[in-house]
Amino acid sequence: MSNYHSYFIAGPENISPNHIIGKESKEQALVRIVKNLALSGLDVFQLRAKNLEENQIIKILYNLKLSIKDTNTKLCINDNVYVASKTKDIIDIVHLGQSDMHPDIARNLIGDGVEIGLSITNESQLASIPKCVKYIGVGPIYNTDSKDDASKPIGEKKLKEIILKTNLPVVAIGGISLNNIKNLFELGVSGVAVISNILNENDPLENFLLLKKQIYKD
C-alpha cells in the first residue's frame, strides 16, 4: 500500500511563466518540478490533465516515470481509466471522482497492479465504496481556488466524522496550507493533497520542503 502523506496534484495548465526555465515547455517544467520534489521525498504525484489529448497525457506520464524512477514517489493519473489501461506498466494509482467510471469497472480494465483511489465529498458516499478502492480523497475541506467546480467546503468536523467511519486511508484536499496541515493530521488524515500551495509564486521545491516540515512536525 502506498504512503499518501504528501500528495501533489498538477498538470501543465497549472504551470505559470515564473515556473519555466529558459525555453522549457509547460510539460517539461512540470516534469522537472516533480522530479525535484520526488528526490526530496514526495509520496504521490497525480497528473491532472483534463484538456490534453490522450497521446499527450501518455507522453507526459512516461516522461514523469523516467524522471522519478530512482525515487519512491508513486505516479497517479486522474480520472482517465483508458489512459491508465494503456500505461498500467508505469503508473501506480488511478484516482476517480464520483462522476467517473465506477471503480469496479475500472479494476476490470486496468487489472490488479494499479491502486484505485476515490474522491468523496460527504459521509453518505462511504456506504457505496467498493472493496477495490485503497484510499479516499475527501474534500474540499476549506475554500479553494484550485478547482473551478469545487463543492462547498465540508469543514474539519465533517472530515473527522468521515475518518471515524472508515478504515481506508483519508487524503484531505481543498484549501490545504501550512497553517492547517498539522491540525489535519491531528484529526487523523493519512495525507494532504496540494496544488496551489506548491505552485504559487515561490519556488515549488522550497514550498514542498516547508509543507513536508509541517507534515512530520512533532
Q: What CA–CA distance (Å, rounded) separates 140 from 153?
A: 5
Rounded mean pLDDT, 115-138: 97
Predicted TM-score (pTM) above 0.85: yes
Does residue 106 carry a pLDDT above 80?
yes
All domains in the chain, ordered by first residue: 6-215 (3.20.20.70)
Provide the grid cell at 27: 510539460
| Contact assessment for residue 20 and residue 207, using Cβ atoms and an 8 Å cutoff | no
Q: Could you report the per-residue pLDDT of 1-55, keeping only the tens digit for each?
A: 568 999 999 999 999 999 999 999 999 999 999 999 999 999 999 999 988 999 9
- What pLDDT score was predicted for residue 130? 97
* CA-based nearest residue to 142, from 182, 184, 170, 100: 184
* CA-based nearest residue to 212, from 188, 187, 176: 176
Q: How far is CA 78 from CA 115, 157, 178, in A?
A: 12, 27, 24
- What pLDDT score was predicted for residue 88? 96
Rounded mean pLDDT, 60-84: 97
Which residues are bridge partners to 138 per DSSP? Answer: 120, 172
Rounded mean pLDDT, 167-173: 98
Give 217's pLDDT tier (boundaries 50, 70, 90). Answer: confident
